[in-house]
Amino acid sequence: MSSSPSLYVDRATPLHRLTARSKLALLVGVFTVAYVFDHPLWVAVPLVGSFVALVLAGGWRNFRRLAYIVGALFVVGFVVWPSFTPAGGPVVVDLPVVRLTRRELLFALGRSERIAAFVVGGLVFVTTTSNEEIVAGLRSLGLPYAFCFALGTALRLFPTLLGATSTVRQAQAARGHEVGRGGPIERLRSYVPLLVPVLMSAVRDVQTQSMALEARGFDTRGERSFYDRRTFGGADWAVTLFGLALVVGGVGLSVLGYGNV
């Protein structure tokens, strides 16, 4: 967290060259495929695809930063999901503390993969799309500029806050406050003293950032122009159609009974 807090990685990969709109269309397709299927083998397709795309786009560092969250979501989901589906098929895990049927195991694995696919897919998008491109892309979809700006800024501030938490944590540690030690409750309580400084540093920045914006002529009511606005080219159309095909194909195959457990 000591390096740049932004999740955007400035590279010149094919994914980076696409417009935000076509990447959003692709993301919708990937999310749909991950959502409509239950079987882990089917859900693995969007998960592995997203992960490979993330690594190729230079997002390995981002994945490492959020790996503990992805890991926790995956493991907890895998443990909890079996109780959310009826048992079925032969018993494949029979231990004194847990007894799982084949259906429960596959269902839990598929659901955990789905969660991971969402996180990794979202990471691919923010790794390959700068804040300005996100705002311009959402604006081109017809959303009000101020709303797009707020969303883009929130996405940029989110990792900044994680960075600020790390800084405050180090400052508190230098004063003898130990964070993240002991049991779960003790760990949670140790984070409380970080809350107010992190919160206030974020709020304090509102004044300076607002002044900086207004000094540069920020006005939400006028029509916006964007520096380096990209045209929606052939590659964008191809990716958008691919995203659409993923949606239609995924829903269609699911309705036909494929990919279920």
Partner 1 sequence: MREILTMWRDTRMIMLVAVTAAVYAAVLIPFKGLTIIPGITSVRPANVFPVVFGLMFGPAAAWGAALGNLIGDIFGGTLGPGSAFGFVGNFFFGFVGYKLWGNLGGLSSGVRPDFREKAGRQLVEYAVVALVASAVTAAIIAWGLEVLGLFPFSVLGTVVTVNNLLAAAVLGPPLLYLVYPRVESMGLLYTDVMRDEDLPTVGHGRQQAIAYGITAVSVVWVVAGIAVSVGVQGVEFGAAPGGDVFRQGGSTVQIVLGAVAFTVLFVMSALSGERLSEMTAPATRTRAVEGGSD
Site for partner 1, rule CB under 8 A: 31, 35, 66, 69-70, 72-73, 75-77, 80-81, 83-86, 111, 114-119, 122-123, 144, 146-147, 149-151, 153-155, 157-158, 160-162, 165, 188, 195-196, 199-200, 202-207, 209-210, 213-214, 218, 220-221
Smaller CB distance to partner 1: residue 72 or 93? 72
Return phi, psi of residue 91, to 5°: -75, 125
Conformational region of residue 65, where left means phi above 0, alpha means psi within -120 to 50, and beta covers everything else = alpha
Distance in Å, CB of 94 to partner 1, minimum: 20
Smaller CB distance to partner 1: residue 211 or 235? 211
Burial of 71 (0-12, 13-18, 19+ CB in 10 A): exposed
Minimal CA–CA distance to 122: which of 199, 69, 198? 69
Token pair of 162 as six digits: 């994680």
**What are all long-range contacts of 180-183, with beta carbons under 8 Å and residues at least 24 apart?**
none
Smaller CB distance to partner 1: residue 86 or 234? 86
Distance in Å, CB of 242 to partner 1, minimum: 20
Distance in Å, CB of 166 to partner 1, minimum: 12
Distance in Å, CB of 30 to partner 1, minimum: 11
Smaller CB distance to partner 1: residue 56 or 73? 73
Token pair of 185 as six digits: 């409750």
